[in-house]
Amino acid sequence: MKKAIRFKRKPLNINDITIIDDHKLRKAIIAAALGNAMEWFDFGVYGFLAYVLGQVFFPDASPSIQVVAALATFSVPFLVRPLGGLVFGVLGDKLGRQKILSVTIIIMSLSTFCIGLIPSYATIGIFAPLLLLLAKLAQGFSIGGEYSGAAIFVAEYSPDRKRGFMGSWLDFGSIAGFLVGAGLVVLLSSILGEVKFQDWGWRIPFLFALPLGLIGLYLRHALDETPAFQQHTDKLDNNERTNIANPPQMTFKEIFTKYWKSLFVCVGLVIITNVTYYMLLTYMPSYLSHNLHYRADHGVLIIIAIMIGMLFVQPMIGLISDKIGRRPFIVVGSFGLLVLAYPAFMMINSDVIGLIFIGLLILAVLLNCFTGVMASILPAIFPTSIRYSALAISFNISVLIAGATPTVAAWLVEASGDLYMPAYYLMVVAVVGLVTGLKMNETANKPLRGATPAASDRSEAKEILSDHFDSIEQKVEDIEQQIDTLKKQRQDLVDQHPKLD
């Protein structure tokens, strides 16, 4: 029998720990967050303009059907997001994160800009909603690689002990983009008046996407590739590095077989986070104005106030997660959503402004529990070589489910006449989040999977190295105790047998 060859692993030393340049880290966060902000800028504008877009592009339908149709146009592009995730994910693992993120922001900004140029149904008939759908599909395709790539970009640039805090700024950008979009809608509608705003003023927010996209492209193009991806390419042998566009790749079957638990965690986290997100920030404005009959601008102002509060909570949760871990926030947030969703909607339906605000605030804080840690969890559960493709595909398949939330919620309320249907919807999703939180492994203060540790400076690198050696010593001690216990058990068995000694 041939004896297996054992290769001795080299001890980790101070030079193996990546020191992250603080200036480059800040630039990476701004560049990534800006693209994410633009994505949610469009979501915010679209969600708050659903009633106007319904009148512009679906004028022959009843008011209820107009809202559902406009929200359906919002949801349909999620069908192509997995395709975008597949294309950009594979390319991101081959060519690098920086190049792909430059492409996605170009497509995203141009498609959003084009929505502001589409003539109304009254002008070109059926071609108006078809062009709107085409623009939304282009958005969906680009967004398929945007969030996953941005989360990976920030995570691979971040020190291990600060990844939660740094990652939280990505969804800070989401909330800020949504807030700017909603605020712009309110500002323009108040300045122009309802008639002018519905006639042509609604186009202005979409046109803002082009200059925002150009700024984002400039910032992303000026950045270097992430340290983790550079390490990955450096490990390839000379032959592979000469053909870096075609490194050895895992098949999707191998990814599903080997990393099924990571895929499960990704799907669960994305569903709980994005269903809550779309319910609160995309569907609720229409719910308040259409179902509860508040003036559209009143509902918008309440949501804007809630979102401003979310901006302050978001980085705090990321910072605390670096101290106590990410899992507690997923578990507590999911359990809170399970038990508080119905009471929150009781307050929202109370017809008392103060209680409406508290009900929405409860949902917002619970949403912060997810958004504050998701961007730091997801990139950490896949190795560098497949991180972009595995995360982008699983993320966007999950978003495909979550993206139907505004449409399904609106339909459920219309079909049943029950204003508490959104609460039941959130309670069901909360169970998914709770199971995910209980099953996932903690990722806080650990290197990205398959990567060497990363530190802010050499002093922190020395601490990480010391902690690493302490961990090894503790594991060796635990193994020695297990060996002693096994020896005692063996001796007890030997003593009971006359022919063993």
Over residues 409-451, the pLDDT tens digits come to: 888 998 888 999 999 999 999 999 999 999 999 999 888 887 7
Are residues 493 and 430 both part of a single domain?
no
Average pLDDT over residues 220-249: 67
Whether the Cβ atoms of residue 395 and residue 378 lie closer than 8 Å to each other: yes
Whether the Cβ atoms of residue 109 and residue 216 lie closer than 8 Å to each other: yes
Are residues 442 and 478 both part of a single domain?
no
In a domain, 5, yes or no: no
CATH of the domain at 99: 1.20.1250.20
Are residues 285 and 310 both part of a single domain?
yes
Percent of the chain with pLDDT over 90: 26
In a domain, 402, yes or no: yes
User: How many C-beta neighbours within 10 Å does residue 101 have?
Assistant: 28
Are residues 262 and 401 both part of a single domain?
yes
Are residues 396 and 489 both part of a single domain?
no
Are residues 347 and 369 both part of a single domain?
yes
Q: List the helix and strand counts (H, then E) for the chain.
A: 23, 2
156-170, 202-216, 232-246, range with greatest mean pLDDT: 156-170
In a domain, 227, yes or no: yes
In a domain, 8, yes or no: no
In a domain, 24, yes or no: yes
Are residues 487 and 419 both part of a single domain?
no
Whether 63 has a pLDDT exceeding 80, the answer reads no
Are residues 446 and 472 both part of a single domain?
no
Between CA 271 and CA 280, with CA 274 as vertex, the angle to 5 degrees is: 130
Strand 18-19 to 454-455 pairing: parallel
18-22, 234-238, 404-408, 427-431, range with greatest mean pLDDT: 427-431
Are residues 449 and 476 both part of a single domain?
no
In a domain, 237, yes or no: no
For residue 492, the enclosing domain spans: 466-501
Q: How far is CA 8 from the centre of its chain?
A: 39
Are residues 472 and 453 both part of a single domain?
no
For the chain, what is the domain count? 2
In a domain, 116, yes or no: yes
Whether 335 has a pLDDT exceeding 60, the answer reads yes
Mean pLDDT computed over every residue of the chain: 84
Average pLDDT over residues 30-38: 85
Whether 157 has a pLDDT exceeding 80, the answer reads yes
Are residues 191 and 295 both part of a single domain?
yes
In a domain, 300, yes or no: yes
Q: How confident is the model at residue 1 (pLDDT cuts 50, 70, 90)?
A: very low
Are residues 374 and 480 both part of a single domain?
no
Percent of the chain with pLDDT over 70: 91
- C-alpha distances (whole Å) from 140 to each of 135, 246, 252, 388, 446 are 9, 27, 22, 17, 33
